[in-house]
């Protein structure tokens, strides 16, 4: 069995039995499906176990992991963030045990494309959720379609895979005792400049949400977005034909300079809600206008060239006078004189 799958079948903390591996895993660790053996139910309830193998073993790294575990525990009190059941160290490796979210992430859904009204709904819901995150002084740092789940039971969005916990795996403590991350957390295309430089802001999450919304609208991955010489996404080209109010919000969300973006989710949502009624009305009118289009009659597409005529040898014609019992006989209504007006 490979090193990545060696946990399958094992029981952690005499409670969580690993039954399968979820996903391909990445540089930050692996994710497994497990059963909680302590719950007296059949079948046993499922949960998610994340294994993080730190680059360096030290008390400072352990302290940071416990700190992030406490933060995740607090965030997990929100109904749209997975509940944290446990976090612990085992054999110099860190483990998180979280609620299993039944559903799909937004990758496929967004690739199919969204209407403007659906993008407005998405922005309202995800920004409302991010307000809770930001008010707890947390920056997600890896918002993208793959880290937003659509919960099967109620259709609500669930935010998963917070970047701060993944960063613990990359921490190295220098000679001065200061912890430093060896890898930038985030996903190319969704990660803004300041985060690449190791200085993430609340506005960094706003950037990632904006990129996700634009991706859903235009049907292109962020890597396909054109940028100008300053690194600004050329939204005027990408969003041509999009409602102006919605386009202006998205343009502000993805500014290169984080100081020119909305500073946090609360401010961004307030701006969206301020124009939302008018925005929804305009979008609804636009969508109705696009729906009410009369297609040309199907018969107009038919010409004599489209109709296949049978060979002349197969045509059956009557010969001589047609008797009453012939299938060529056509009954005609007698013409009465009352049918005519002088």
Convert the pLDDT of each residue in 130-144 to its tens digit: 999 999 999 999 999
> In the chain, where does the domain assigned CATH 3.30.200.20 lie?
7-100
Q: Which span out of 98-112, 157-171, 288-302 was modeled with the highest average pLDDT?
A: 98-112
Query: Is the pLDDT assigned to residue 319 strictly greater than 60?
Result: yes
Weakest-pLDDT range from 27-41, 220-234, 309-323: 309-323
Q: Are 160 and 147 in contact (CB under 8 A)?
A: yes
CA distance 210 to 242: 14
Task: Tell the burial category of 307 from Cβ atoms under 10 Å away from its Cβ (0-12, 13-18, 19+).
Answer: exposed
Report the chain's terminal Cα–Cα distance, integer Å.
102
CATH code for 7-100? 3.30.200.20
pLDDT digits (tens, 9 = 90+) for 270-309: 999 988 877 777 667 766 776 665 455 554 454 555 555 6
H/E stretch holding 99: strand 93-99
> In the chain, where does the domain assigned CATH 1.10.510.10 lie?
102-288
Query: Is the pLDDT assigned to residue 30 strictly greater than 90?
Result: no
Weakest-pLDDT range from 24-28, 53-57, 179-183: 179-183
pLDDT digits (tens, 9 = 90+) for 68-88: 889 999 999 999 999 999 999
Q: Are 166 and 50 in contact (CB under 8 A)?
A: no
**pLDDT of res. 84:** 95
Active site residue 142: yes
Query: Is the pLDDT assigned to residue 176 strictly greater than 60?
Result: no
Report residue 150: phi and psi, to 5°: -100, 105
Report residue 48: phi and psi, to 5°: -110, 130
For residue 142, the 8-state DSSP code is -
- Using DSSP, state whether 217 is helix, strand or coil: helix
Report residue 291: phi and psi, to 5°: -75, -40
Closest CA to 136 of 156, 161, 162: 162
Query: Is the pLDDT assigned to residue 191 strictly greater than 60?
Result: yes
In CATH, which superfamily holds the domain spanning 102-288? Answer: Transferase(Phosphotransferase) domain 1 (1.10.510.10)
Query: Region 160-166: what's the mean pLDDT?
Result: 79
From 36, 38, 105, 142, the catalytic residue: 142
- Cα separation values, 180 from 165, 183, 188, 222, Å: 14, 9, 21, 29
């Amino acid at each position: 069995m490979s090193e990545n799958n060696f946990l399958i079948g094992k029981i952690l903390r005499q409670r969580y039995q690993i039954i399968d591996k979820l996903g391909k895993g990445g540089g930050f660790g692996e994710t497994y499906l497990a059963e909680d053996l302590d719950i007296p139910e059949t079948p046993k309830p499922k949960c998610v176990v994340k294994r993080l193998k730190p680059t360096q073993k030290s008390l400072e790294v352990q302290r940071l992991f416990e700190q992030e575990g406490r933060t995740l525990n607090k965030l997990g009190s929100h109904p749209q963030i997975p509940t944290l059941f446990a976090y612990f160290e085992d054999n110099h490796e860190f483990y998180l045990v979280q609620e299993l979210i039944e559903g799909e992430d937004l990758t496929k859904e967004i690739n199919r494309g969204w209407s403007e009204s659906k993008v407005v709904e998405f922005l309202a819901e995800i920004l409302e959720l991010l307000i809770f995150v930001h008010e707890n002084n947390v920056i997600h740092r890896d918002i993208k379609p793959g880290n937003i789940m659509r919960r099967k039971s109620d259709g609500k969005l669930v935010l998963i895979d917070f970047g701060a916990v993944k960063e613990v795996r990359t921490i190295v403590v220098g000679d001065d005792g200061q912890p430093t991350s060896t890898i930038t957390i985030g996903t190319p295309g969704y990660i803004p400049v300041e985060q690449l430089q190791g200085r993430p802001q609340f506005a960094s999450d706003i950037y990632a949400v904006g990129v996700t919304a634009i991706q859903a609208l235009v049907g292109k991955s962020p890597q396909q977005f054109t940028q100008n010489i300053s690194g600004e996404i050329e939204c005027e080209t990408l969003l041509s034909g999009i409602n102006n109010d919605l386009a202006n919000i998205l343009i502000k969300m993805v500014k290169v300079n984080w100081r020119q973006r909305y500073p946090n989710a609360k401010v961004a949502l307030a701006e969206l809600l301020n124009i939302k009624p008018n925005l929804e009305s305009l979008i609804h009118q636009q969508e109705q206008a696009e729906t009410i289009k009369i297609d040309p009659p199907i018969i107009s597409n038919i010409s004599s060239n489209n109709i296949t005529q049978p060979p002349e040898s197969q045509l059956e014609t009557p010969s001589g006078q047609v008797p009453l019992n012939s299938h060529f006989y056509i009954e005609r209504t007698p013409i009465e004189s009352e049918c005519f007006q002088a």
